[in-house]
Amino acid sequence: MKKAPRAPDDALETPRRRPTINDIARLAGVSKKTVSRVINASPFVRSDTRDRIQAVIAELGYAPDPQARGLAYGRSFLIGLVYDNPNPQYVVNMQLGLLDGMKGSGFELVVHPCDRESPTFLEDLRAFIERQRLFGVVLTPSVSEDERAAKLMSDIGCAYVRVASVSLDTPEHMIETRDRLGGREAARHLAELGHTRIGFISGPASFRSSHERRSGFEEALNEHGLTLSRTYVAEGAYTFDSGVERGRELLAIEPRPTAIFAANDEMAAGVLQAARQAGLRIPEDLSVVGFDDFQIASRLWPALTTVRTPTREIGRLAVERLLGRDDDVRDPKNRLPSLVVRDSTAPLKG
C-alpha cells in the first residue's frame, strides 16, 4: 500500500518541521559552525557572511534549540529563582522583574521555593542546580543571606546573584536593596510630623533587612534630635500576628507612643488591629508606618503610610547582572526605597 499523499498536512501550517542549524547552514552556503558563531555573537565572522546568515535566520524564523545548545555547552539556558520569602506579592513582583530582565535573551525562569530550616536544604538545592545544569540563580532574602548557599554556588560553579538589604558579597554577586534608606525615610516623616515618643517593631534578628531598617530609622531619628528609646522597641517576626502582639504591648506602655514604625506591612496591619482593639483612632491617636507597600497597604483602613521597595526593578537588575548585561547607565534612583504617604500618619496633636 502506498503512503497516503500528505497534501492536507502541508496545507495546514502546523506540522512544518522547525528549522535547525543545518537548514540555515545549507541555505546560507556555509558550515554550521559558522552559523553557530553568528548565534553566539562571535566576532570572527566576516560581516557580509554574518548578514547573509542573519537574513536566512530571519526568513525561516529560526531559533536555536536551547536543549541541544545546553547539552553541548554543558549548561542549560535556565535561570533559577531560589527564595524563601513567604510574601506572595514579593515573590510575584520578583518573578516579573526577572522575566523583564531576561526578555528576548532566550533564557527561561525556573522557580525554586525552599526552606532554609529543612535538614536537606543544601542537598536539595545542589541536586536542583546540578540536575538542571542551571546557568545561574538569583537568591533572595533570606536565603540570599545564607553563606552556605553562596558557598555552594561557588563550589559547583553556578553563577549567582544575591539580592539583600546590604552588601554581603563581591559586587558582581550582589544587588543591594538598601533598606537602611527606607528606615531613614520613615524616621524623617515621623519627625517632621512632630512625633517624639516613637515605637519600633523590628523583624526577626536573623534577617539583615530587619537590622538595616532599624538602624536607618534610628540614625535618622538621631539626626532630627530624637532618640529611639529601648522601652519602645520590640522584636516581631515579620508576621501579622506578631504585629498584633507587639503592637498591643507597646500601646500598653505609659506614656503611650504616639507613632509606631513597623518593619513591614504585615506587622503594621497587626498594629492597626491592636490599636483598634485598644480603642485608639488612627491617625488621630496613633500614627503608623509600614514597610514594603504590598497590596495590603492600600486595602487597610486607614490606608497605610509605608516605604515602597521597587522589587520588580530590583529583580530586573539582578538578572541583568547575572547575564552580564547591566548598563549601569540607568538612573539609580528608581531602585531605592521611597516613602508613600497615605492616611495612617498625621501631625502630632498639639
Partner DNA sequence: CTGAAAGCGCTTACAG
Q: Cis link prior to 8 (omega < 30° from 0)? A: no
Min. distance of Cβ 145 from DNA in angstroms? 33
Of the candidates 229, 249, 232, the one whose C-alpha atom is nearest the C-alpha of residue 241 is 249
Q: Is 156 in the site for DNA (CB under 7 A)?
A: no
Binding-site partner at residue 40 among DNA, a second copy, none, CB < 5 to 8 Å by type: DNA
| Burial 186-211, CB ≥16 within 10 A → b, else e | bbbbbbebebbbbbbbbbbeebbbbb
Q: Is 122 in the site for a second copy (CB under 8 A)?
A: no
3-state secondary structure of 281: coil
Binding-site partner at residue 273 among DNA, a second copy, none, CB < 5 to 8 Å by type: a second copy
Min. distance of Cβ 199 from a second copy in angstroms? 20
- Give the helix, strand, coil percentages of the chain, each rounded to 5: 45, 15, 40
Q: Is 240 in the site for a second copy (CB under 8 A)?
A: yes
Binding-site partner at residue 130 among DNA, a second copy, none, CB < 5 to 8 Å by type: a second copy
Min. distance of Cβ 106 from a second copy in angstroms? 8
Min. distance of Cβ 64 from a second copy in angstroms? 9
Cell numbers standing for residue 2:
502506498
Q: Using CB under 8 A, which residues numbered 30 to 69 contact a second copy? A: 63, 65-68
CB of 260 within 8 A of CB of 217? no
Min. distance of Cβ 95 from a second copy in angstroms? 6
Q: Is 300 in the site for a second copy (CB under 8 A)?
A: yes
Of the candidates 157, 148, 103, the one whose C-alpha atom is nearest the C-alpha of residue 319 is 103
Q: Using CB under 7 A, which residues numbered 24 to 63 contact DNA? A: 30-37, 39-40, 43-46, 49-50, 62
CB of 162 within 8 A of CB of 175? yes
Ranges of H-type helices in the chain: 7-11, 21-28, 32-39, 47-60, 66-73, 88-102, 121-132, 147-156, 179-192, 208-223, 240-251, 265-277, 295-299, 311-322
Choose the binding region for a second copy from 2-10, 217-225, 246-254, 295-303 (rule: CB under 8 A). Answer: 295-303
| The total number of residues written for the chain in this structure | 350
3-state secondary structure of 308: strand
Binding-site partner at residue 99 among DNA, a second copy, none, CB < 5 to 8 Å by type: a second copy
Choice between 109 and 226, CB closer to a second copy: 109
Min. distance of Cβ 77 from DNA in angstroms? 10
Q: What value, to the nearest 5°, has the Cα angle with vertex 271 and ends 305 and 223? A: 55
Site residues (CB under 7 A) for DNA? Answer: 18, 20-22, 30-37, 39-40, 43-46, 49-50, 62, 64-65, 68-69, 71-74
The site for a second copy (CB under 8 A) is made up of: 14, 18, 63, 65-68, 70-71, 76, 78, 88-89, 91-93, 95-96, 99, 106, 108-111, 113, 127-128, 130-133, 155-156, 240, 266, 269, 272-273, 276, 295-296, 298-301
